[in-house]
Amino acid sequence: MIRGNQSFQKAANIALVMREIRHRSPISRTEISQVLGLTKSTVSTIVADLLEVGLLNESNLVPSETKGGRPRMKLELKKETACIVGVELDPSRYKSVIIDIDGTEISRSTGTIREDRRSKSWHPDPVSAFDSVFQEIRQQVESVHLPVIGIGVGIPGYIEPVKGRILRSTAFDVENMDYTRPLSEKYELPILVENDANCIAWGEIAAEESSDGSPEKPYENLITVLLQMHRDLQGRHLQSSPGIGCGIVMDGMVRYGENFAAGEFHSYRWHTESPGQLGSVHGGREAEDESRFIEEMLEELFQNLSLGVSLLSPARVVYAGDLLEYEGQMKRILSERMAGSFINPEVSGIPIDAARFGESAVAAGAAFMLLERLFLLPEVGRTRPEGMPTWNDVISKLRAETK
């Protein structure tokens, strides 16, 4: 919500100061001023606002290095001032995670989409699904007693995060839906939407932000893989084929490509009779076929993934969703049958790990998507989601809360 050059500059300066405090805390005003090249008075004014609303802690940690000088006051992010909610929406269930502004997880929960929100064809309307979830996460939020900066929502499908639109979601059976604007207006909160596999990527990038500054950059270039079997509450498959999505991180940024379509999974074994994204797996999956089905699916998934790994040379592949359930089979297939599919030892030796937030990776990532964007320098461009708050907005909100 940036208006005019002055407001933009102010928002950029606050983001710069917050980034420095996040990465180098505890840090003094003078050090921030030196590192950023901002005047001491600019830094002091920004810090005063941030202290006033409780986003920072100030402590007298280190004696001044100058003889006889005053001890320098050190600044760091203050926990438990405000929170961000992340939600993973699936046709039948949801997961939510609440994080602090320093990325600490405060709580997580999981639940089902209420029956009355689901249509006869099991496809719920994603707006109604969110309404159903919101009532439940409202209680979760109230229990942590913190103002909410915003909500990030992870949804399967083609998502246009800048305009908050669902371009197409097979799981929810919707196309070209203006999603976040009506929800943001209804709940008077910034609500952002992102593709679910991209959410995992945001969660992993956040891990880099909180890492110890090691020269290794495990999160700078990575591929995330999310597999969802879309089962109903009785464990029955809701779709004839699993949903598979990838997130691509290149040079530390989630990559969207043209029309926000990067990271699409489409097997080269797919053919016109294939029910979904895979080609080798056919319908009619009875219980006794389940094991064979999983085996075929995993092999085809990783055969295709080897193309992506060869082409992008990532540092890691991160998996989540129902792949967590098949870890044993997956690793066996990779070691027994996939040798020789990756381009060379440097690339084939890359780690293939579970996402850092495990089964809540999409929900946590949806929250981190909003948090990481808050710490990014505000930009007037195609990658800034409409309704994305700045630190100015956060400060205003916290001021209003304390009145």
Partner 1 sequence: MSRYLGIDLGGSTIKWTVLENSAFTPVETEETPGDKKAILSSLSGIIEREERLRGAMTAVCIGTPGLVDGKGRIRGDAVNLPGWGNQSPGGSFGTLGDRSPIVKNDGSLATLAEARLGAARDRRNVVGIFIGTGIGGGLIIDGNIYEGTAHLAGEVGHVVVEPGGAPCPCGKRGCVERYSSGTGMVRLAQEEADRIDSPLAEFLRKKNSEIIANGQEAREFSAERMYQDFYPTDELARTVHEISVDRLARLVGALINILAPEKLVLGGGVMKSADPILRSLKKKLPQYAVQEISKGCHIVPASLGSGAGAIGAALYASSITD
Structure tokens at 109: 């929960």
Residues within window 162-181 making contact with partner 1, judged by CB under 8 A: 167-168
Region binding partner 1 by CB under 8 A among candidate stretches 225-233, 287-295, 309-317, 318-326: 309-317
Residues within window 200-219 making contact with partner 1, judged by CB under 8 A: 217
Which of 221, 228, 360, 390 lies at the binding interface for partner 1 (CB under 8 A)? Answer: 221
Sequence-distant (≥ 6) Cβ neighbours of residue 12 within 8 angstroms: 377, 378
Which of 148, 246, 333, 374 lies at the binding interface for partner 1 (CB under 8 A)? Answer: 246
- The CB-of-368 to partner 1 minimum distance in angstroms stands at 21
Region binding partner 1 by CB under 8 A among candidate stretches 92-100, 203-211, 344-352, 381-389: 344-352
Which of 36, 144, 324, 347 lies at the binding interface for partner 1 (CB under 8 A)? Answer: 347
- The β-bridge partners of 182 are none
Structure tokens at 29: 């005003």
Cβ closer to partner 1: 287 or 339?
Answer: 339
Helices and strands counted in the chain (H then E): 11, 16
SS3 content of the chain, % helix, strand, coil (to 5): 40, 25, 35
- The CB-of-310 to partner 1 minimum distance in angstroms stands at 5
Dist. CA 266–CA 225, nearest whole Å: 13
Which 3 state secondary structure label does DSSP give 193? strand
- The CB-of-345 to partner 1 minimum distance in angstroms stands at 9
Number of Cβ within 10 Å of residue 200's Cβ equals 36
Contact 58, 26 (CB under 8 A): no
Region binding partner 1 by CB under 8 A among candidate stretches 63-71, 141-149, 265-273, 386-394: 265-273
Which of 150, 161, 276, 314 lies at the binding interface for partner 1 (CB under 8 A)? Answer: 314
Dist. CA 94–CA 96, nearest whole Å: 7
Which of 140, 170, 310, 396 lies at the binding interface for partner 1 (CB under 8 A)? Answer: 310
DSSP of 310-331, one letter per residue?
A: HHH--SEEEEEEGGGTTHHHHH
The DSSP element (H or E) to which 107 belongs, if any, is strand 105-112
Would you count residue 304 as binding partner 1 (CB under 8 A)? yes
Would you count residue 326 as binding partner 1 (CB under 8 A)? no
Dist. CA 156–CA 160, nearest whole Å: 12
* Residues of the shown chain interacting with partner 1 in the complex, contacts defined by CB under 8 A: 158, 167-168, 217, 220-221, 246, 248, 250-251, 255-266, 268, 270-272, 303-304, 306-308, 310-315, 340-341, 343-344, 346-347, 350
